[in-house]
Amino acid sequence: MVLREPISTTYHRQHNIKKTYPFLTNTTAKPRHPSYAITTHPDHQLFTPVMKLINTTTLQITEFFDRNVPPYAILSHTWITDQEVTYQELLASTATHKTGYRKIQQCCAQALTDNLHWAWVDTCCIDKSSSAELTESINSMFRYYAEAQICYAYLADVQESGDMVVLEDALEQSRWFTRGWTLQELLAPQKLLFYSRDWKALGGREKWRHHIAHITKIHEEALRGGAVACREFSIAQKMSWASGRQSTRDEDNAYSLLGLFDVQMPLLYGEGTKAFIRLQEEIMKSSDDQSIFAWEYD
């Protein structure tokens, strides 16, 4: 995404905003969907929230309804093509040879060390064969990270080093800081700890806050963690945090920002860059912050 200063007047002129989006003239924001009311069907059928968690001792998956979710750890990481473990593969124990299985094992082992008996990993705790479940999970992702007891950020390309300068350089070059999905995973958790490729502790977000702000251009106050810390910043500022980050699919550049802007919408994989326009429309329904028009998808 690229910041384009003139887009406000250009967008209004070319798209006749007041006619197309009459709610922009209404200063009363429309009520937002509650976090558990996810629209997954054109008929606006609501999907009852279910969260899949991994038992950190047995590596078996159990489903929990929203109000009965136990304390859990959550993993943040970058995906490796063809090496991640799906929900079906974990159930059938057919992917123990994959690199991704090692990440699940290490995440669960660390959670047990932290006295947590449940963990959530995005690769295998979402049944991606179900479009309804995928929509619910992506719309709830920010909340999943925000409500976790602890988040482990696994940096597969960073080696532990006793030399602080070497480690700072390694962090600055890490792929984790360039991906679209890891933005909310950096901001949402109340407690975030970084781990090297060998699962050696590198310290928490608080320790690295100043350096992370330098790497990401995110204000240090936003790096204190949680939705409350992000509320103080404008739409344009939040969009700037996402600028330059990459996702495998164009749609995910928009879908990965849903929680950051506290909006929800159905997923339409195949729509390409139109997803960003839909994201803007949803944001405008609940905000009169005109700084949104400084941004377009590029």
Predicted TM-score (pTM) of this structure: 0.83
For residue 3, the model assigns a pLDDT of 40
For residue 297, the model assigns a pLDDT of 55
Residue boundaries of the structural domains of the chain:
50-231, 233-297
The answer to whether the beta carbons of residues 215 and 177 sit under 8 Å apart is yes
For residue 49, the model assigns a pLDDT of 72
Provide the 3-class DSSP secondary structure of residue 52. Answer: strand
For residue 286, the model assigns a pLDDT of 85
The answer to whether the beta carbons of residues 205 and 212 sit under 8 Å apart is yes
Phi/psi at 76 (5° precision): -115, 130
Spatial CA neighbour of 111 closest among 77, 73, 149, 146: 73
Tokens 């922009």: give the residue.
24
For residue 50, the model assigns a pLDDT of 87
The answer to whether the beta carbons of residues 146 and 190 sit under 8 Å apart is yes
As a whole number of angstroms, the longest Cα–Cα distance in the chain is 60
Residue ranges of the chain whose pLDDT lies below 70: 1-48, 293-298
CB burial class (10 A; 0-12, 13-18, 19+) of residue 188? buried
State the DSSP H helix or E strand holding residue 120, giving kind and residue range, or none if neither. strand 118-120
